[in-house]
Structure 1
């Protein structure tokens, strides 16, 4: 099944690095689980707000430079946060990145504080 990015998702991609946008656009066509882009580029004020709320632990987020996106699984017309959905979405992101030569990091692969909805361009390739 092939899904499409919504207008809201496309709006959330404004200011995101073009290589990451290409990966998102390809991943939506590959994923077995529909998703929406919930956040892309963030302001410093938004990032500080997320840190205060405990939703982030850094003021040096890749979102500040447009090098990261967060997605939300979209199942039966609603956002779902069930962990098993996110590795399936991540497979599509990783496949899309690999075929396009884009070095991508998935927050779900982090050894601590796993973040299933988070995808970012590798700092070593995209400083």
Structure 2
């Protein structure tokens, strides 16, 4: 099944690096699990609020420069946070990124504070 990005997801990609937008747009077409974009570019104030709330641990987020997005899995139109869903979405992101020669990092691969909904452009290739 092929999914499409909603108008709201597309709006949340405003200010995101074009290479990452292309990966998101390709991933939605091949993912086995539908997803929506929950956040892309963030202001420093929003990032600071997330740190204060414990939802982030850094003031140096890739979201601040438009180099990261967060997604939420959708099952039957409802947001789901079940960990296995994000591994399946990550496979689609990896395939889409590889097809475009765009190195990405999945937050689910981090050794600490694993973040399944988070995808970012690799710092080694995108400063």
TM-score range, shorter chain: over 0.9
Determine helix, strand or coil for the equivalent of 1:21.
helix
**How many pairs does the alignment contain?**
127
Cα distance in 2 for residues equivalent to 1:10 and 1:113: 27
1:35 aligns with 35
Structure 2 stretches lacking a partner, 5+ long: none
Q: Is 1:116 paired with 2:113? A: no
Q: Where does structure 1 differ by over 2 angstroms across 4 or more consecutive aligned residues?
A: none
Alignment partner, residue 96 of structure 2: 96
Q: TM-score, normalised by structure 1?
A: 0.99
> Any residues of structure 2 matched to 1:31-110 within 5 Å, and which?
31-110=31-110
**TM-score w.r.t. structure 2 length?**
0.99
| TM-aligned CA deviation for residue 76 of structure 1 | 1.1
Give 5+ residue unaligned stretches, structure 1.
none
SS of residue paired to 1:63: helix
1: CA distance, partners of 2:97 / 2:89: 13
